[in-house]
Structure 1
Amino acid sequence: MAAKKPKNTMISHGIAAQNRKARHDYAIGETVEAGLVLKGPEVKSLRHGRATLTEAWAGERDGELWLFNAYIPEYQGGVLSRFEPRAPRKLLLHKRQIRQLLGAITREGATLVPLNVHFNDRGRAKVTLGVGTGRKKEDKRHAIAERDWQRSKARLLRNKGKGDY
């Protein structure tokens, strides 16, 4: 059983929020890392690891990419500034990358799925976006069967060298 982290721990670098269901629901092609425009209390809340990306998606608004429906709860540390927990947040990318991603969305009918929010080595909040196409139910079953087989195969190979003596 994994050890629980203390409640007052803050994340200085590493993953703050993860969308674990995204790789199950979508076949992810290429991934890209984008900066995220946040207010101070939002960063503090993220550092406590309280954000949720399960219903989040990225899309275009006025020629820019935005992160929609990501839930970052209000920071409870005595700060009076309020913000909307599900407000759209601007993503920071080069114009060429934005054009490339928007082209993939329109041509291929793909979706920009946020995979995780993390802090890089410099302490900046970043979002990993994946260009994904939706999976059908049978594709999901096949992916689960393949993952289970890989896990069983690794277990068999690991236990092969150990004898019952």
Structure 2
Amino acid sequence: MTVLKYLSAYPAHIQDQVRALIEQDRLAETLRVRYPDRHAVRSDSALYDYVLELKNRHLRTAPPVSKVAYDSGLGLVAKALGTQTTISRVQGAKLKSKREIRVATLFRDCAPEFLKMIVVHELAHLKVRDHDKSFYALCEHMEPRYHQYEFDLRLHLTCLDLAGRAA
């Protein structure tokens, strides 16, 4: 029986459906049909512009983001697909806070829906720290299909894992 570590919190009948797709060697093809496109956000500066556009559209009152970058240190091995951090620095007599968002490099070449899902997730952390009901409500406000994209991203990660590209 295939262990589905990215889907372990889902009900058994969902996991069984995914296992059936894996056994029939149809999981990757199913995702390719569902998400045929790749986004054009390849550079850190393009990612910064993309994140700022989403932030300005949905979270105008949230704290500003000073840096956004793809990070090759994030990924399946590090068990983080994106991070949102606050860095405090002393500048003169003041304490300045800067917020950074880092996105795993594996999102550089993926479906636009997956990139949007991870960016929405990290932007939501600007307002809500914990993964609670209000956090997910904010994610759904920014992307109504957030939960579907998150599930499909978990399927994509499962495909990468099965292909041996988890590193």
User: Normalising TM by the smaller chain, what interval?
Assistant: under 0.3
Bigger radius of gyration: 1
Higher relative contact order (CA 8 A, sep 6+): 1
TM-score, normalised relative to structure 2 = 0.24
